[in-house]
Amino acid sequence: MMAFAEKVSTDASSMTDADSLVLREHGFSDREIVDIALAAAVRNYYAKAVQALAVEVQPPATLPESLRAALLSGL
Protein backbone atom coordinates (compact mmCIF):
# COMPACT_ATOMS: atom_id res chain seq x y z
CA MET A 1 0.00 0.00 0.00
CA MET A 2 2.73 2.47 0.90
CA ALA A 3 4.66 1.75 -2.32
CA PHE A 4 1.46 2.38 -4.28
CA ALA A 5 0.84 5.66 -2.44
CA GLU A 6 4.44 6.71 -2.98
CA LYS A 7 4.14 6.04 -6.71
CA VAL A 8 0.92 8.09 -6.82
CA SER A 9 2.93 10.88 -5.20
CA THR A 10 6.06 10.69 -7.31
CA ASP A 11 5.21 9.16 -10.69
CA ALA A 12 1.45 8.84 -11.13
CA SER A 13 1.61 9.20 -14.90
CA SER A 14 3.49 5.90 -15.19
CA MET A 15 0.94 3.88 -13.20
CA THR A 16 -0.89 1.03 -14.88
CA ASP A 17 -3.38 -1.66 -13.95
CA ALA A 18 -0.40 -3.69 -12.74
CA ASP A 19 0.04 -1.28 -9.83
CA SER A 20 -3.55 -1.88 -8.71
CA LEU A 21 -3.21 -5.60 -9.29
CA VAL A 22 -0.44 -5.79 -6.68
CA LEU A 23 -2.83 -4.32 -4.12
CA ARG A 24 -5.62 -6.69 -5.17
CA GLU A 25 -3.22 -9.60 -4.68
CA HIS A 26 -2.71 -8.37 -1.12
CA GLY A 27 -6.44 -8.41 -0.47
CA PHE A 28 -7.41 -4.80 -1.12
CA SER A 29 -10.77 -4.20 -2.76
CA ASP A 30 -11.24 -1.82 -5.68
CA ARG A 31 -12.90 0.64 -3.29
CA GLU A 32 -9.91 0.49 -0.93
CA ILE A 33 -7.51 1.03 -3.84
CA VAL A 34 -9.46 4.13 -4.87
CA ASP A 35 -9.35 5.35 -1.26
CA ILE A 36 -5.56 4.84 -1.13
CA ALA A 37 -5.05 6.72 -4.41
CA LEU A 38 -7.32 9.58 -3.33
CA ALA A 39 -5.72 9.85 0.11
CA ALA A 40 -2.25 10.08 -1.43
CA ALA A 41 -3.42 12.63 -4.00
CA VAL A 42 -5.17 14.78 -1.39
CA ARG A 43 -2.10 14.68 0.86
CA ASN A 44 0.05 15.88 -2.03
CA TYR A 45 -2.43 18.62 -2.94
CA TYR A 46 -2.51 19.78 0.68
CA ALA A 47 1.28 19.77 0.97
CA LYS A 48 1.67 21.79 -2.26
CA ALA A 49 -0.93 24.34 -1.16
CA VAL A 50 0.71 24.74 2.25
CA GLN A 51 4.13 25.16 0.64
CA ALA A 52 2.84 27.69 -1.90
CA LEU A 53 1.26 29.77 0.85
CA ALA A 54 4.26 29.41 3.19
CA VAL A 55 1.96 28.22 5.97
CA GLU A 56 3.58 26.67 9.04
CA VAL A 57 1.70 23.51 10.02
CA GLN A 58 1.82 22.03 13.48
CA PRO A 59 0.07 18.68 14.02
CA PRO A 60 -1.60 18.23 17.41
CA ALA A 61 0.86 17.55 20.22
CA THR A 62 -1.23 14.53 21.23
CA LEU A 63 -0.11 12.55 18.18
CA PRO A 64 2.78 10.10 18.61
CA GLU A 65 6.10 11.70 17.62
CA SER A 66 6.63 9.27 14.73
CA LEU A 67 3.29 10.28 13.22
CA ARG A 68 3.95 13.99 13.81
CA ALA A 69 7.30 13.65 12.02
CA ALA A 70 5.68 11.84 9.09
CA LEU A 71 3.00 14.51 8.75
CA LEU A 72 5.60 17.28 8.76
CA SER A 73 7.93 15.65 6.24
CA GLY A 74 7.86 17.40 2.92
CA LEU A 75 6.17 20.49 4.30
Q: What would the pLDDT profile of 31-64 be if each residue is shown by its tens digit?
A: 999 999 999 999 889 888 888 998 887 778 888 8
Q: Any long-range contacts for 3-12 (C-beta under 8 Å, 24+ apart)?
A: 4/33, 4/36, 4/37, 4/40, 5/36, 5/37, 5/39, 5/40, 6/40, 8/36, 8/37, 8/40, 8/41, 8/44, 9/40, 9/43, 9/44, 12/41
Share of the chain above pLDDT 70, in %: 97
